[in-house]
Amino acid sequence: MKRGRVQKNTNMCSSLTPCLVLLLSFIILPLCESFNYGQALSQSLLYFESQRSGRLPHNQRVTWRHHSALTDGLEQGVDLVGGYYDAGDNVKFGLPMAFTVTLLSWAAIEYGEQIAGAGEYAHALEAIKWGTDYFIKAHSQPNVLWVQVGDGDTDHYCWQRPEDMTTSRRAYKVDADNPGSEVAGETAAALAAASILFKRTNPHYSQLLLHHAQQLFEFGNKFKGKYDESVGVARGYYASVSGYMDELLWAAIWLYKATEKEEYLKYLLENAYGFGGTTWAMIEFSWDNKYAGVQAIASMLLMEEQHKKHEAILKQYRSKAEHYLCACLNLNNNLTNVERTPGGLLYTRKWNNMQYVATSAFLLTIYSDHLQSNGQNLHCHKAQVGPHDLIALAKSQVDYILGSNPMNMSYLVGYGPSFPKRVHHRSASIESFRGNMGFIGCTQGYDNWYGRPGPNPNTLIGALVGGPDDKDQFQDERRNYIQTEACTYNTAALVGVFARLHASEGESETPLIASSK
Ligand SMILES: *[C@@H]1O[C@H](CO)[C@@H](O)[C@H](O)[C@H]1NC(C)=O
Ligand SMILES: *[C@@H]1O[C@H](CO)[C@@H](O)[C@H](O)[C@H]1NC(C)=O
């Protein structure tokens, strides 16, 4: 059922216009809440430490976690120790893990200075490297990529800390006979993006990442196939609905950014139409669907002199990027906008809606800065808007997440006075390994911990949960995984936005007024 398109903001600060009024009347100004984005940034990076699999380092800050899954891959004769647990369970899913690392790397590329300014750059690189170290191991031969360890069905049968796991840790791969272009493409994108970051501080590692990225892209491109047809156990959890063409374009554009080699640009241009890059108009950006990301980056290339000769195709990419951004801004012709809750939250779908909110906040922020530095506006069907309108929307979404919402609750765990206390997360909901090293069995976890009405014993700081429904309502219950589970790619999309908003804190608010609506 489609909800009405009228945007009703019950929240004073999440809408631009009431804020303008408040800004102009100084007496009421303090009513406009201000959030501590620096703290949110620190917390968001901490979250990745709670999701770590493998042998934890001495500087591990999340101390309720311990070493786990130290024999991953052993059955298949490959070392797959490390990487990230995906969400509230203990499976390592390659596709969303790679998307998480691509998002984190993009954030650190775009907002490295701002992240460093908040004292968090080392943590950001650690979060990225925890993923890329794993991808290097998982890419054990040029045409072999291990894309999953464990499986959702046996994992979900138990409620266990990763430290105690007794569930299957079977590993699954894609190869020339069983291809998986989505996961090869996304992993290539992640490694290429990360290689940009390590170029200066660790050139050898950067080269290694790039080498793997190039091979993985070749593999995914040469042996085309849907990964969830090769790896059936992924289908019930991370089925690729959008297919693999978006990931191949995505990998190509990140490889182009990392190498500046013409062959990757050529790939992006020659496959623009055939792969849907210039034909699909999107209203979401997610672990499955990368088109909006490809389109946004392609459209930013347009501003660079050396790309002028490719203007025709890049402009087609730009028009699709604009479609996405205008849909978020509610400025497309009425049927192709992103819905909003009465409280002003972008609303895509019921299950883990926050992932889409976070990715749109990220793309809006990046594109806003792009427009700003090129002195440009965004042309939507209903209006032409300036960079400040884009960042204002991103900020309103982040402020909603941090507590400016009808539930008066922060959906970033650990932030502010009120946040979800019963996150659907195995290790957070069971007493910590440090406190009790005794084995907690498969069903014992369900019996003794899952069903408890009380709060989780461990706080999953920095996790962005699935969030409220289309009426801004949220039930903080462990079994309500649609709303209370968090995923690594939710938080990953917010890192850059927090850093950007933190850096601009204290700057004059007047640009908001000077919007060109
Ligand atoms: C879309 O806009 C048209 C004209 O602006 C209007 O008549 C129509 O009712 C709108 N449809 C929806 C679903 O809002
Ligand atoms: C949220 O806070 C506002 C203002 O303090 C209050 O009016 C409202 O009842 C609160 N809502 C909930 C769900 O607690």
Ligand 1 contacts CB of residue 5 (under 6 A): yes
Tally of domains in the chain: 1
Give a yes or no: residue 7 inside a domain: no
| Nearest partner of 128 among 70, 188, 45, 59, judged by Cα | 45
Q: How far apart are the CA of 414 and the centre of ligand 2, in A?
A: 19
Give a yes or no: residue 252 inside a domain: yes
In CATH, what number is assigned to the domain containing residue 90?
A: 1.50.10.10
Q: Is the dihedral of CA 227, 487, 111, 200 positive or negative?
A: negative
Spatial separation of the C-alpha atoms in residues 473 and 294, rounded to whole Å = 33
Give a yes or no: residue 212 inside a domain: yes
* Structure confidence at residue 334 (pLDDT): 74
Indicate the SS3 state at residue 109.
helix
Is 424 one of the catalytic residues? yes
**pLDDT tens per residue, the chain (517 residues)?**
222 222 333 333 333 334 444 444 444 433 455 899 999 999 999 999 999 999 999 999 999 999 999 999 999 999 999 999 999 999 999 999 999 999 999 999 999 999 999 999 999 999 999 999 999 999 999 999 999 999 999 999 999 999 999 999 999 999 999 999 999 999 999 999 999 999 999 999 999 999 999 999 999 999 999 999 999 999 999 999 999 999 999 999 999 999 999 999 999 999 999 999 999 999 999 999 999 999 999 999 999 999 999 999 999 999 999 999 999 999 999 779 999 999 999 999 999 999 999 999 999 999 999 999 999 999 999 999 999 999 999 999 999 999 999 999 999 999 999 999 999 999 999 999 999 999 999 999 999 999 999 999 999 999 999 999 999 999 999 999 999 999 999 999 999 999 999 999 856 443 443 333 3
For 153-187, how does the pLDDT look when each residue is reduced to its tens digit (9 = 90+)? 999 999 999 999 999 999 999 999 999 999 999 99
**Alpha-carbon distances of 328 from 293, 345, 390, 396, rounded to whole Å:** 14, 10, 9, 12
Give a yes or no: residue 6 inside a domain: no
Give a yes or no: residue 223 inside a domain: yes
User: Do residues 70 and 54 touch, judged by C-beta distance below 8 A?
Assistant: yes
Give a yes or no: residue 398 inside a domain: yes
Q: Which domain holds residue 385?
A: 12-515
Ligand closest to Cα of 409 equals 2
Return the DSSP state at 54: B
Ligand 1 atom 12: residue of nearest CA? 334
Is 485 one of the catalytic residues? yes
Q: How far apart are the CA of 29 and the centre of ligand 2, in A?
A: 19
Cut 0.85: pTM above it: yes
Q: φ and ψ at 149, to 5 degrees?
A: -130, 130
Spatial separation of the C-alpha atoms in residues 3 and 11, rounded to whole Å = 19
Q: Is the dihedral of CA 3, 5, 8, 14 positive or negative?
A: positive
Ligand 2 atom 13: residue of nearest CA? 407
User: Do residues 256 and 180 touch, judged by C-beta distance below 8 A?
Assistant: no
Is 79 one of the catalytic residues? no
Q: How far apart are the CA of 409 and the centre of ligand 2, in A?
A: 10
Instruction: Give, in degrees to the nearest 5, the angle at Cα 458 between 455 and 462.
Output: 100
Q: How far apart are the CA of 336 and the centre of ligand 1, in A?
A: 11
Distance of alpha carbon 497 from its chain centroid, rounded?
11
Ligand 1 atom 10: residue of nearest CA? 334
Give a yes or no: residue 3 inside a domain: no
Q: φ and ψ at 351, to 5 degrees?
A: -85, 115
Give a yes or no: residue 256 inside a domain: yes
Ligand 2 atom 4: residue of nearest CA? 408
